[in-house]
């Protein structure tokens, strides 16, 4: 299992905050590595599993998605809890 624990976004402070990079680790407390959104998308498509992990311990499964225009992105599985959304993770 891999854990997404931080994000870098484009257009910080706007309503169009798009994730460009993610901080991830293979354990809940391990050192963070950085990967682009496209890298994480590709890893999920090839069978690697990821969960979001907030500093408060909230977790959610992460899936690979593609927009109608062909943009690849990652998102948490909808469960009605905003606290585990990727955009709620710490920024780097």
68-88 pLDDT, tens digit per residue, is 999 999 999 988 787 778 999
Which structural domain, as residue segments, surrounds residue 14? Answer: 2-88
Q: Taking CA 44 as the corner, what is the angle to CA 88 and CA 61, rounded to the nearest 5 degrees? A: 40
**77 Cβ contact partners less than 8 Å away, ≥ 6 residues apart:** 60, 61, 62, 63
Backbone angles phi, psi at 37, to 5 degrees: -55, -45
Domain total of the chain: 1
6-59 pLDDT, tens digit per residue, is 999 998 877 667 999 999 999 999 999 999 999 999 999 999 999 999 999 999
The pLDDT value given to residue 82: 74
Predicted structure pTM score:
0.92
Q: How far apart are CA 25 and CA 28, in angstroms?
A: 7
Residue count of the chain, please give it: 92
């Amino acid at each position: 299992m891999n854990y997404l624990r931080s994000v870098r976004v484009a257009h910080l402070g706007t309503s169009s905050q798009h994730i460009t990079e993610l901080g991830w680790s293979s354990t809940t407390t391990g050192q963070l590595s950085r990967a682009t959104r496209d890298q994480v998308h590709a890893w999920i498509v090839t069978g690697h599993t990821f969960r979001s992990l907030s500093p408060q311990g909230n977790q959610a499964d992460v899936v690979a998605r593609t927009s109608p225009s062909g943009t690849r992105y990652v998102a948490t599985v909808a469960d009605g809890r905003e606290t585990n959304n990727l955009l709620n993770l710490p920024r780097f």
